[in-house]
A and B are shown apart, each in its own frame.
Chain A
Amino acid sequence: MTSQASCTSGNRHTSRILHRQWLTKDTFTLTLERPPDFHFQAGQRIHLLTGGKTRDYSLIPGDRQDQLTLLIRSVADGVVSPHLSRCPLGTALDFTGPSGHFIYRPSSRSAIWIATGAGIAPFVAMCRTGIQGFVLLHGVRHDDELYFRDNMAPAALRYVPCLTGVSSSLSPYAFPGRVTDYLRHHFPEGAYDFYAAGRREMIAEVMDIVDHRFPSSRIYSEIFF
């Protein structure tokens, strides 16, 4: 809505890294202690402060109540994500938050969740709160990047992996192309609640498609690097 929509709020917390799990060669989950006074809504994020740098990460409730999970793609020439990928377990991290308005809003319209890459994180958080019956389009290059597929697919009314990698086009259950291609050419017209999380270019394209193919719909978005 405004240029200040991404502002951070909330108290400052300190947490320790409990666990790291690599999902692919460049993407991992980081499990943190959950401070006892820290509460958030599924889809919100924290503002992580480390080494003089700050980054926002969407929150996923941990398997246990006293844990938080972050889904992180390590950027080769980045600063924060490589540090988070290497620092020892037990490292203390400071963060503020939660912040953000990318939360699920129940309505009579069908919810269409669109994610690319690690943009799946806020949807995983929503799904873990018990939301079901959504349509999920998850765009990645190869099917090993379909993070949390085993959690998401059973809860979804329809789960559509959209694979852009050349070799992935052979996967029989997946759409061979981008999420926006699927939305533009294969999704039935109607009025929906679209939720889009991922790269800026994808979100801008989804908004353009919604404007023209789904004019009575609503759209909520969250940009990921």
Chain B
Amino acid sequence: MKIYTGGGDRGRTSLFSGERLFKDDARVEAYGDVDELNSLLGAVLAVLPDDCRDKIGELHQIQSDLFRVGACLATSGEDPSFKTTRDLPLENARFLEQAIDRMDEQLPRLSQFILPGGHPAACWSHVARCVCRRAERHTVRTIRQASDDGKMYSGTLTYLNRLSDYLFVLARYCNQATRTPDTPWESA
């Protein structure tokens, strides 16, 4: 089977649940952001310092979760196929919380804002964090436009919210592991 149809050559795309949408629809933006985020995690993995190899398994798990998030967002809630592309359970967000707590225990307490930067893995992690926030915003917009009360994507929203926190802490973790100092923000 070929993977391209040409059906999107005129600015529309098909959801997993069959609807045709313009490619600038909030829903398409949302799962596009998730795809971008997943690719950025690949960039984080590519430059992950040796002292952070323990994060490889976590990041692969997150990439796998994001595939599921993308499939969920690409399926309208009223479609029966949604049963097979269910929202993420809250356990997946708990996984992130535990990972955050483990890293945080090893980091100095943060008393001021820091500038995004440092080791390349930290830089990519910060970029991924920003894209994660954008994915979250577009997911919220999708829910609001669909007049959905958000329950259908409650696990996804929790996960994306927690993932941006994870990526912030991961950036600091990578900087610390490579003895790259965080740069504090100096207010004018």
Contacts and interface: CB of A to CB of B under 8 A. Distances in A.
B is a partner of A = yes
B9 interface: yes
A106 B110 CA distance: 54
A66 interface: no
Interface in B31-51: 31, 35
Contacts, number: 79
A63 interface: no
Contact of A219 (B2, B18, B35): B18
A218 B17 contact: yes
Contacts of A94: none
B7 A221 contact: yes
A200 B14 contact: no
Main DSSP-derived SS at the A contact region: mixed
Contacts of A224: 1
B144 interface: no
B3 A211 contact: no
B35 A2 contact: yes
B71 A207 contact: no
Given A200-B5, A203-B5, A204-B7, A220 B20 contact: no
A9 interface: no
B1 to A, nearest CB: 5
Interface of A: 1-6, 45, 56, 100-101, 105-107, 193-194, 200-201, 203-204, 206-208, 210-211, 215, 217-225
Pairs of residues from A and B, 10 with the lowest C-beta to C-beta distance, nearest first: A218-B18, A204-B6, A207-B7, A56-B1, A223-B2, A1-B74, A6-B3, A1-B16, A203-B5, A204-B7
Interface of B: 1-7, 9-10, 12-20, 31, 35, 70-71, 74, 79-81
